[in-house]
Amino acid sequence: MVHEHTYKQFDADLEGIRSRVLQMGGLVEEQISNAIEALISANLELAEQVINNDHQVNALEVGLDEDCTQIIARRQPTASDLRMVMTVVKTITDLERIGDEAAKIARMARRIHESDRLTQPRFNEIKYMANVVLEMLRRALDGFARLDVSSAADIVRQDMQVDEEFRLVLRHLITFMMEDPRTISVFIDIMFVAKAIERMGDHAKNMSEYVVYMVKGKDVRHTTVEEIERVAQR
Amino acid sequence: MVHEHTYKQFDADLEGIRSRVLQMGGLVEEQISNAIEALISANLELAEQVINNDHQVNALEVGLDEDCTQIIARRQPTASDLRMVMTVVKTITDLERIGDEAAKIARMARRIHESDRLTQPRFNEIKYMANVVLEMLRRALDGFARLDVSSAADIVRQDMQVDEEFRLVLRHLITFMMEDPRTISVFIDIMFVAKAIERMGDHAKNMSEYVVYMVKGKDVRHTTVEEIERVAQR
C-alpha cells in the first residue's frame, strides 16, 4: 500500500510540474502578444506592464527548476518519467529566454515611440513574424501537454519560414535606411525587434524537439526536418 | 565491497562528465578566437573551419546530455552530486549556444569580406568585446573545474561591461552609417557580430551562476551582483 501511495504521489508531483510548465507557457504567450501590441499601437503602459511581468516568468523558472531537482532526488524517476523531468528542465530555460525577448521588445517599443518621429513605421511584417512564432509556441506547448509529436516537423519548418522572413525584413529595413539616413536609429531598433522574434522562433523549435525526445526517447536536435518526421512517425 | 566499487564507479562517471564539459569549453573558446581572428584578418579559410567545427560542439552537447540522464537513472545521485549533474545539463546548453554564436560570426566574416568593400572597417571595439567575453568564459569554466565561486560576481560585472560596450559600438556604427549610407549593409553585419558577442557574454554569465548553484546550493539567477557576492562569500 505504501508503494501504491508513493506512486500516486509521484504522479501527482509530475502532473503538478507539467501543469506549471503550461501555466508558464501561457504567461509567456501573453507577454509576446502584449509586447507586440504595445509596439504596434504605441501603448507605453502595456509595454511597462510586460517589462514588470518578466520577473513572474523568471520566478516560475526558478521554482520549477528546484521542483525538478527535488523530484529527481526523492522519487528517482527512470525511463519516460525521467525524460519528462529532463524535458521540463530544458523547456523552462527556453520559455524564460522567450520571456526575456518579449521584455526586450517592450523596451524597444518604449524607445521607438518615445523618440522624435521622423517616420511612421509600419509593422505588418513584424506582426506577421510574431503571429507565426506565437503559433509555433502554442503548438509546442500543446505537443508537450498531449505528449504529441505530430506537429514537431511542422514547427521546425515554421522556424525556417521565420528565419526567411527575418532576412526579408532586414533587406527592407536597409532599403528604408538608405533612402533616408535620418531614420537609421529607429529602423535599427525595429531590426532588433525582428531579431528578438527570430530568436523566439529558435526557442519554440527547441521546445518541440524536446517533446520528441520526451515521447520517442530520441534526441533530434541538430538533425534534419526529415529525420524529425521519421522519428515522429515511428 | 560491491558498495565501495559502485561509489568508485560513480565518482569516475562524474569525473568523466566534468572533464568532457571542460573539453567542450576548450573547443568553444577556440571557436570564438578563430571566428574573431577570421573576421579581423579576413581569413576565409579559418571562417570555413569554424563553421565546419560547429557540429563537434553540438555532438559533445548531445553526448553529455545523454550521459547525464544515464547517470541520474543508474546512480540516482542526490545533494551535491545531483547539483553537479544538473549544472552540467544547463552549462552545456549555454556552451552550445556560444558555439552557435561563434559560427554566426564566422558566417558574418565570410559575408563582410566577400562583399564589395566600400569601407575598411576597423575591429578594435569588436576585438576588445571578444577578449572580455573570452576571459569571462575561461573564468566560468575555471570556477566549474575547481568548484570555486570567487570570480562569479566579477563575471557578472564583466557582463555589464560587455553590455555597455555593445551600446557604445552601436552608437558608433550608427554614426558611420549616417555619414555614408552606402556602408549601411556592411555595418549592419558588424552590428550583428557585436550582438553575437554580447549574447556570448550572457551565456558565460549564466554558466558562472550555475557554478554558484553547484557549490553553494543556491540559485542566484535573476538576483543582483551584491546577492551573488554575498552567497559566494558565505
- What pLDDT, in 10s, does the model give residues B81-120? 999 999 999 999 999 999 999 999 999 999 999 876 666 7
- Contacts B184 to A, Cβ<8 Å: 174, 177-178, 184
Does B90 contact A93 at a Cβ distance shorter than 8 Å? yes
Closest to B174 (Cβ–Cβ): which among A65, A66, A184?
Answer: A184
Q: Nearest chain B residue to A93 by CA: give it.
A: B90
State how far the Cα of B214 lies from the Cα of B84, in Å rounded to an integer. 6
State how far the Cα of A137 lies from the Cα of A106, in Å rounded to an integer. 19
- Contacts A62 to B, Cβ<8 Å: 219, 221-222
**pLDDT per residue as tens digits for the range A171-187:** 999 999 999 999 999 99
pLDDT of A99 above 70: yes
Q: Nearest chain A residue to B70 by CA: give it.
A: A78
A1 band by pLDDT with thresholds 50, 70 and 90: very low
What is the reported pLDDT for A61? 98
How close is the nearest chain B Cα to the Cα of A180, in Å?
A: 9
Closest to B178 (Cβ–Cβ): which among A55, A78, A181?
Answer: A181
How close is the nearest chain B Cα to the Cα of A56, in Å?
A: 11
pLDDT of A2 above 60: no
pLDDT of A221 above 50: yes
- The CA-CA-CA angle for residues B105, A195, A87, to 5°, reads 90
B52–chain A Cβ distance below 8 A for any pair: no
Does B174 contact A185 at a Cβ distance shorter than 8 Å? yes
Does B83 contact A69 at a Cβ distance shorter than 8 Å? yes
State how far the Cα of A233 lies from the Cα of A41, in Å rounded to an integer. 43
State how far the Cα of B130 lies from the Cα of B126, in Å rounded to an integer. 6
What is the reported pLDDT for A118? 60
Q: Would you tell me the crossing angle of helices B2-40 and B79-114 to the nearest 10 degrees?
A: 20
- Contacts A89 to B, Cβ<8 Å: 86, 89-90
**pLDDT per residue as tens digits for the range B46-55:** 999 999 999 9
Q: What is the ipTM, given to two decimal places? A: 0.95
Average pLDDT, chain A: 95
- A119 phi and psi, to 5 degrees? -145, 155
How close is the nearest chain B Cα to the Cα of A61, in Å?
A: 10
Grid coordinates belonging to A192: 532588433
Would you tell me which residues 152-181 of chain B have a C-beta closer than 8 angstroms to some C-beta of chain A? 170, 174, 177-178, 181
Burial of A106 (0-12, 13-18, 19+ CB in 10 A): buried
Contact in structure between B206 and B94 (CB atoms under 8 Å):
yes
What is the reported pLDDT for B114? 86
**Selected residue of A101, A159, A167, A222 to mutate for chain B interface (largest B Cβ count, 10 A):** A222
Burial of B144 (0-12, 13-18, 19+ CB in 10 A): buried
Contact in structure between B225 and B157 (CB atoms under 8 Å):
yes
Residue B108's alpha-carbon distances to A29, A37, A138, B196, in angstroms, are 32, 32, 32, 10
Does A181 contact B177 at a Cβ distance shorter than 8 Å? yes
State how far the Cα of B210 lies from the Cα of B220, in Å rounded to an integer. 8
Q: What is the 3-state secondary structure (H, E, C) of B20-44?
A: HHHHHHHHHHHHHHHHHHHHHCCCH
* A&B contacts, CB < 8 Å: 73
What is the reported pLDDT for B1? 47
- Contacts B79 to A, Cβ<8 Å: 73
Domains of chain A with bracketed CATH: 2-233 (1.20.58.220)
- The CA-CA-CA angle for residues A105, A106, A111, to 5°, reads 95
Within 8 A by CB and 6+ apart from B177, the residues are A177, A181, A184, B183, B184, B187, B188
Ranges in chain B, pLDDT < 50: 1
What is the reported pLDDT for B17? 97
B79–chain A Cβ distance below 8 A for any pair: yes
3-state secondary structure (DSSP) of residue B41: coil
A185–chain B Cβ distance below 8 A for any pair: yes
- Contacts A69 to B, Cβ<8 Å: 82-83, 86
A10 band by pLDDT with thresholds 50, 70 and 90: confident
Q: Nearest chain B residue to A94 by CA: give it.
A: B93
**Selected residue of B74, B76, B206 to mutate for chain A interface (largest A Cβ count, 10 A):** B76
**Selected residue of A178, A223, A231 to mutate for chain B interface (largest B Cβ count, 10 A):** A178
Q: What is the 3-state secondary structure (H, E, C) of B78-107?
A: CHHHHHHHHHHHHHHHHHHHHHHHHHHHHH
